[in-house]
Amino acid sequence: MHRLDPSGPAALLARPGVRTALAALDAPGEETRPVGGCVRDALLGSPASDIDLATTLRPEAVMERARAAGLKAVPTGIEHGTVTLVTAHEPLEVTTLREDVETDGRHAVVRFGGDFAQDAARRDFTINALSLGADGRLHDTVGGLDDLRAGRVRFIGEAATRIREDALRILRFFRFHARFGGDTPDAGALTACIAARDALGGLSRERVRAEFLKLLLAPGCVPVAALLAGTGLLPRITGGVGEVGRLARSAAAGQDAPMRLAALCVHAGHDEPRLREGLRLSKAEAADLAAYAGALAALHSRATLQVGDIRALAARHGARTIAATLAILEGEPRPQPEPDALAEAARLATVGEPVFPLAGGDLVAAGIPAGRAIGAGLAAAKAEWLARGCPEDAAARAALLKQAIAAATR
């Protein structure tokens, strides 16, 4: 159940960008309203980051009136009726009311309309079909307000039909249920999503990635991931099985979406390329998964962990990655870290991993000629440094330099 904020709609209308845009688009016989997620979030007392307006004005009229009011108007999707207005405070997307003419499960052919109720009826979920008049009146023609209060994510009309219009709505259902839903998903929606699971294969991987990463950041990501696993949908999204318990610990630690994805889906190094390709991950996201896979293998190879082990692991795999992976593995049989080792992992995650104290210039200064001998000397010294837990004091550095010189002159 959600308690709604009665002052939320007024606060939305009072936002400077919204107020400016509504004033610019005010015209006799026409109407413009905030719609969708921004209205939903306002009712929940959460300021929306994206503002969408629906209007009876045609796109060309939107641009003309906006420019007359001194606003920048960008035809970001004008063929679909969308114009972005840039005010001094925030960008807003303004879309002319539409009605579907034809859909194929991935794309819709639409024509412009003038009926807010009909526009609401073509949206995906009831909680996303609310609109707010400039006079402060809330418009709800599909029962979204009651569903929002009840924590119920429900398709508008017949669920199977809405999914045939756009199969991405399968993922959106689970994402919105993870964010706004209660304990039990809407039975009709769940049944329709499971029945249409094959349609997920026809979606672009980029769209799947965007929805799934958002889902993993939602408050209810853990029970929803368990639901996806239990219904057989998770392998169709990620290409593999999931570790829901690890996701729960990752979420409890407040980790970001790539690390939550790693916790759920990465079990070994070969999982990273599968997820990178299957979800079209960015280079940074793939690097996070690869780092986690390396840290996971290194940690699983040890029964216990002491302070020196943590320092060496942090030097090899990154301090933040080691700390995050330890949080994900908490309570599992391997490894068993000592309390002071956990404290050191937390400290290094803040200050940074140990840095090997020698460089090639140190050996050159000691009289070693440039060449392969430098690399051999540094490699021998670094292996010893790691084995000793990455000491940082001056005496340790001197001993390491001596060892490096000896290895270089053999």
Inside any domain, residue 193? yes
Q: How far is it, in rounded angstroms, from Cα 217 to Cα 100? A: 32
The verdict on whether omega for the bond into residue 6 sits within 30 degrees of 0, i.e. cis, is no
Same-domain status, 145 and 167: no
Instruction: Choose one of 150, 174, 199: the last residue of a domain.
Output: 150
What's the rounded Cα separation, in Å, for the pair 142 and 138?
Answer: 12
Q: Among 253, 273, 301, which residue terminates a domain?
A: 301
Together in a domain, 170 and 292: yes
Residues 6+ apart with CB under 8 A from 255: 263, 324, 327, 328
Tens digit of each residue's pLDDT (9 = 90 or more) over 359-397:
999 999 999 998 999 999 999 999 999 999 999 999 999
Residue tagged 């249920």 (tokens): 177
Residues 130 and 243 in one domain: no
| Same domain membership, residue 169 and residue 132 | no
Query: Residue 404 is part of which domain span?
Result: 360-408
* 286 and 390 part of one domain: no
Which helix (H) or strand (E) is 173 found in, with range? helix 168-180
* Within a domain: 313: no
Q: Report the CATH number that the domain containing residue 262 is assigned in CATH.
A: 1.10.3090.10
Examine the pLDDT at 77 and tell me if it is beyond 90.
no
Question: Both 140 and 203 in a single domain?
Answer: no
**Is residue 338 one of the residues assigned to a domain?**
no
Domain count within the chain: 3
In a domain, 241, yes or no: yes
Return the CATH number at 34.
Answer: 3.30.460.10
- Residue 273: pLDDT over 60: yes
Q: Categorize the per-residue pLDDT at 86 as very low, low, confident or very high, splitting at 50, 70 and 90.
A: very high
